[in-house]
A and B are shown apart, each in its own frame.
Chain A
Amino acid sequence: MICDVNVLWPQEDYGSSVTASQLSEVKNRLAVLEELGYTHVALNFRIRQGQRLPAQVNPIDLSSFAEFKDRLKLFSRVTLIVEDASQMQTVAKLQNAFDLVAVEPRTEKALTSCIVNMEVDLISLDMANRLPCYLKHKTICSATEKGVYFEIKYSDLVDTSSSTRATAISNIKQLFRASRLRGLVCSSGAKSARCLRNYSDVANMLVLLGLDHNRSQQVFKDWPLKALLAGRLRIKSYKQVVAISGDENLIDNSLEGKNKQDATPYRHPKRRKEDKLSSM
Chain B
Amino acid sequence: MDRKHTVEHLLLSRSSKFHDDGEISKLLESRYSLTGSQKNYLSLKATEGTHGAKHHKSIMTAIQLPGRQNRFSPTKTKNEFKSFITDNLKLQDRLTRQLRLKLKKDPNLLNNLNDITELRICKNLIRYEDYIELNKLWKGYMLEILGTTNHIPTMVSKLSSSELIGSELEVIQSRCINNTGTKGIVLWESQHNFVMVVPRQANWKNDISAVKPEFTLKERIGGLRVISKRNTKFRLQLEAQESSITFDVIGNRLLIRSTDRATRRFKNHSVKDIDV
Contact = CB atoms under 8 A, between A and B. Distances in A.
Interface of A: 119, 145-147, 225-226, 229-230, 233-246, 249-251, 260-264, 266-270, 273, 279-280
B275 to A, nearest CB: 9
Nearest to B241: A270
Interface stretch (B21-29, B65-73, B152-160): B152-160
Contact of B246 (A147, A226, A234, A245): A245
Contacts of B160: 238-239, 241-242
Contact of A245 (B157, B206, B248, B253): B248
Contact of A250 (B206, B239, B270, B276): B276
Contacts of A260: 152
Summarize A's interface: helix, strand, loop or mixed.
Answer: mixed
A262 B151 contact: yes
Interface in B243-260: 243-250, 253-254
Contacts of A235: 152
B125 to A, nearest CB: 25
A245 B274 CA distance: 15
A264 B156 contact: no
A269 B242 CA distance: 6
Contacts of A145: 270
A237 B246 contact: no
A250 B248 contact: yes
Given A226-B272, A229-B276, A280-B206, A242 B249 contact: yes
A240 B271 CA distance: 9
A244 B271 contact: no
Contacts of A269: 242-243
A233 B250 CA distance: 11
B157 A238 contact: yes
B268 interface: yes
B31 interface: no
Nearest to A256: B152
A238 B271 contact: no
A59 to B, nearest CB: 22
A74 to B, nearest CB: 17
A119 B239 CA distance: 34
B266 interface: yes
A234 B268 contact: yes
Contact of A233 (B150, B206, B209, B271): B271
B127 interface: no
B150 A263 contact: yes
Nearest to A227: B271
A242 B236 CA distance: 10
Nearest to A145: B270
Contacts of B150: 262-264
Contact of A268 (B159, B244, B248, B267): B244
Contacts of B248: 237, 242-245, 250
28 contacts: A230-B271, A236-B156, A239-B160, A239-B253, A241-B160, A241-B250, A241-B253, A241-B254, A242-B159, A242-B236, A242-B247, A243-B156, A243-B247, A244-B152, A244-B246, A250-B274, A262-B151, A263-B151, A263-B152, A263-B155, A266-B245, A267-B240, A267-B244, A268-B243, A269-B242, A270-B242, A270-B243, A273-B244
